[in-house]
Structure 1
Amino acid sequence: MTVEQEFFNQYRLMYRPFINQLNVQLETYQLYSSQWAVLRFLKDKGPHSFVDIANFMSIEKPSVTKLVHKLVELGYVETVVGKDKREKLVHLSTYGEELVQEIKSQLSPFFEQALAGVPQQDIEIATQVLARICMNINQ
């Protein structure tokens, strides 16, 4: 196996168990990892359209619509009409803002455990490597 194949094999072997465990952590909040990704995106980047969220997550707009509707139902986000009346913007509700902070605190030990024994410098390098791979794939 080449070093490239081994890299992606290790990534694959890590990804599903990580997402499964993340979903267990989020279960308390009636969330899945994809919904959590939307909440984090809105927290980090502010209000965005359904199309922006779809592009960020590399998924189809109907999937975003389903995700957002569930988050609205839970009271975590709200939608408002954008500058163009045909466009809806999604933003965190006041409750959603508080919840994101709570979940981040709750997930911190999980992330620390997952990265136990990995030097900070290696985490930073791996983050840069994964970001570069993402850019290469999306070109």
Structure 2
Amino acid sequence: MTIEQEFFNQYRLMYRPFINQLNVQLEPYQLYSSQWAVLRFLKDRGPHSFVDIATFMSIEKPSVTKLVHKLVELGYVETVAGKDKREKLVHLSAHGDELVQEIKLHLSPFFEQALAGVPEQEIEIATKVLARICMNINQ
């Protein structure tokens, strides 16, 4: 196996168990990892359109519509008309904003356990490597 194949094999072996465990952590909040990603995106970057969210997450707009409708139903986000009446902007509700902070605190030990024994410098390098791979794939 080449070094490249081994790298992506290790990534694949880590990804599914990580997402499965993340979903377990998010279960008390009635959320899945994809819904959590939307909430984090809105917290970090403010209100955005469905198209912006779809682009950021690399998924189709109908999938975003389904995600957002569930988050609206839970009271975590709200939608408002954008500049163009056909466009809707999604933003965190007051409850959603508080919830994101609560979930971040709840997830902190999970992330720390997942990264136990990995030096901070290596985490920074891995983060840069994954960002670069993402850029290469999306060119």
Which whole-Å CA distance do the structure 2 matches of 1:97 and 1:61 have between them? 23
Q: What is the CA deviation profile of residues 50-107 of structure 1, one whole-angstrom value per residue up to 9, with x for unaligned ones?
A: 0000000000000000000000000000000001111000000000000000000000
What TM-score comes out, normalization by structure 1 length?
1.00
Paired residue secondary structure (2:78): strand
Which whole-Å CA distance do the structure 1 matches of 2:125 and 2:92 have between them? 31
Runs ≥4 in structure 1, deviation > 2 angstroms? none
Please report how far the alpha carbon of residue 30 of structure 1 lies from its aligned counterpart in structure 2 after TM superposition. 0.2
Which whole-Å CA distance do the structure 2 matches of 1:43 and 1:127 have between them? 20
Q: What is the CA deviation profile of residues 34-58 of structure 1, one whole-angstrom value per residue up to 9, with x for unaligned ones?
A: 0000000000000000000000000
Which whole-Å CA distance do the structure 1 matches of 2:47 and 2:86 have between them? 16
Please report how far the alpha carbon of residue 128 of structure 1 lies from its aligned counterpart in structure 2 after TM superposition. 0.2
Q: What is the CA deviation profile of residues 97-118 of structure 1, one whole-angstrom value per residue up to 9, with x for unaligned ones?
A: 0000000000000000000000
Paired residue secondary structure (1:85): coil
Please report how far the alpha carbon of residue 32 of structure 1 lies from its aligned counterpart in structure 2 after TM superposition. 0.1
Paired residue secondary structure (1:66): helix
Which residue is 2:98 aligned to? Answer: 98
Please report how far the alpha carbon of residue 132 of structure 1 lies from its aligned counterpart in structure 2 after TM superposition. 0.2
Paired-residue identity, %: 91
Please report how far the alpha carbon of residue 28 of structure 1 lies from its aligned counterpart in structure 2 after TM superposition. 0.2
What TM-score comes out, normalization by structure 2 length?
1.00
What is the aligned length? Answer: 139
